[in-house]
Amino acid sequence: MNAMMTADVVHSKTLPDLITKLLVARQHSLVLFHKLAALKPFAPAAPVQHLLQRFRQALVDYLALGPFEIYEALEEQPVDSPYRQARELARRLYARIARTTQAALDFHDRYDGDLSSPALAELDKELSRLGEQLAVRIALEDRIVTAVRNSGSRIAA
């Protein structure tokens, strides 16, 4: 039964379920981010390359949930939807979130393929920059998450 409920959440397009998917994907990305950062000093060895590849994929999956699922679902809400305040907030924050998306995609692209020693020498600094951008993104997303959840509690009431 639990597996069926989990599968339903994965395929669901309701805003509460999309928020859950976002938070799970974000958590997974952050766990891999911290595991990768803990491998310093970085060497062109298989563990670093493998973990970096896993992190990059998790990062892209996480980044895609915001603009391609949650914001789209908010935009599809009717004008009189209880989610209209969340939609307006998402519209106001979207440009700032998009800048963090671009910074994360730049990181993703920079570390695509085999890693050279010069690229690895910059990895610590690049992870630090990425971490700052992710912190900004998370703070902005949390405002939208809160707005959606508050709207959802009004629906249930």
- The answer to whether residues 147 and 85 touch, using CB atoms and an 8 Å cutoff, is yes
Q: What is the mean pLDDT of the chain?
A: 88
Q: For residue 105, is pLDDT > 70?
A: yes
Confidence label for 155 from pLDDT (cuts 50, 70 and 90): low
What is the token pair recorded at 89? Answer: 């907030």
Q: For residue 1, is pLDDT > 80?
A: no
For residues 78-90, give the mean pLDDT.
Answer: 93
pLDDT score recorded for residue 24:
97
> Among candidates 8, 46, 36, which has minimal Cα distance to 131?
36
DSSP 2-23: HHHHHHHHHH--SHHHHHHHHH
| Helices and strands (H, E) in the chain, number of each type | 6, 0
Distance CA 62, CA 25 (A): 5
pTM value is 0.86
Distance CA 108, CA 104 (A): 6
- The answer to whether residues 86 and 147 touch, using CB atoms and an 8 Å cutoff, is yes
Cis check: omega of the bond before 44, within 30 degrees of 0: no
Topology, domain 13-156:
Four Helix Bundle (Hemerythrin (Met), subunit A) (1.20.120)
pLDDT score recorded for residue 11:
52
- Helix 15-37 and helix 117-156, axial crossing angle in degrees, nearest 10: 150
Least confident of 8-17, 33-42, 44-53, 75-84: 8-17
Q: Which residue is associated with the tokens 């339903």? A: 8
Burial class (CB in 10 A: 0-12, 13-18, 19+), 71: buried
pLDDT score recorded for residue 9:
47
Distance CA 25, CA 19 (A): 10
Q: What is the pLDDT of residues 128-141, one digit of tens each?
A: 999 999 999 999 99
What is the token pair recorded at 63? Answer: 């980044």
Each domain of the chain, given as residue ranges in start order, spans: 13-156
